[in-house]
Amino acid sequence: MRTDIAQSSFFPLGSDELTQQRLFVQTVYAWMTGGLLVTTLAAWATLSIPAIFELSLSLRWVLAIAMIGLVIYLSARIEQMAPSTAKALFLLYSVLTGKTLAVLFYAYTAESLATVFLITCGTFAATALYGYTTKRDLSSVGSFMLMGLIGVILASLVNLFLQSSALTFATSIVAVLVFVGLTAYDMQRIKEMYAIAAQNEARATNYAIIAALALYLDFVNLFLNLLRLLGRRR
């Protein structure tokens, strides 16, 4: 990976701090939205082509492991990689997510998918706005939600063997609360990332990408758990 990234002009010359922060947040949201659009298109393409759907179904565990690996790699190497690499890996992750979710979406009606998506958008927008505007330090909230996330993951792993509908319902409720909290926390952290990006403009795009990935993960996981609670199966 390149480590000698040349200085860039991410922020307009002569712009004030408020303008620069707004530009950074807009870039984060543009990448998050782009990632969700790529995921949607990848899911649609997978569902539309039976051969690709069958392949994605048979390789679902491989895709899941690849996705986890990509998130870990991006998070660990974001400081060193070139912006073009960060962008490519984020888009690759979005494609893999779409192919994986297509298997899940097949089980639900289009109407319920659309309804839950709108509910997710509203919940996410309200929570993100709170996280961005609040003066309260959400660090303790973030730590608590991360512990809750670990609990959800462990409960989900146990439920792979128990196959309990009650446990699935309970973990989905907790997961919704966890990702609502993480959305507010991650949105507040974007301000901290902006401060770092302003000091290291050559990697400002990288920081925007990793921030977009965090919000992307919050949105997707919030959507999935609301879908388990509210979605109507075929």
pLDDT digits (tens, 9 = 90+) for 76-90: 999 899 999 999 999
Give the confidence band of 11 by pLDDT, cuts at 50, 70, 90. Answer: confident
Please report the pLDDT score of residue 208 as a whole number.
94
Q: Give the C-alpha separation, 21 to 40, whole Å.
A: 29
Distances 162 to 35, 39, 134, 148, 154 between C-alpha atoms, Å? 34, 31, 41, 20, 12
Cα separation of 23 and 9, whole Å? 12
CB 174 within 8 A of CB 154: no
Report the DSSP beta bridge partners of residue 92.
Answer: none
- Contact between residue 178 and residue 149 where contact means Cβ atoms under 8 Å apart: yes
HSE (side-chain half, CA atoms, 13 Å) at 225: 25
Q: With contact defined as beta carbons under 8 Å apart, do 156 and 169 qualify?
A: no
Q: What angle do CA 100, 142, 227 make, to 5 degrees?
A: 35
Could you report the per-residue pLDDT of 142-195, keeping only the tens digit for each? 999 999 999 999 999 898 888 888 999 999 999 999 999 999 999 999 988 888
d(CA 194, CA 15): 14
pLDDT tens string 114-149: 999 999 999 999 999 999 999 999 999 999 999 999
Q: How far apart are CA 204 and CA 8, in angstroms?
A: 9
pLDDT value for 36: 97
Q: Judge whether residue 213 has pLDDT over 90.
A: yes
Which tens digit of pLDDT belongs to each residue from 29-80?
999 999 999 999 999 999 999 999 999 889 888 999 999 999 999 999 998 9
pLDDT of residue 13: 63
pTM higher than 0.85: yes
Average pLDDT over residues 6-17: 65
* Model confidence band, residue 14 (pLDDT cutoffs 50, 70, 90): low
148's tokens: 């809750």
pLDDT digits (tens, 9 = 90+) for 17-35: 888 888 999 999 999 999 9
Decide: 231 and 108 in contact? Cβ < 8 Å: yes
CA distance 201 to 207: 10
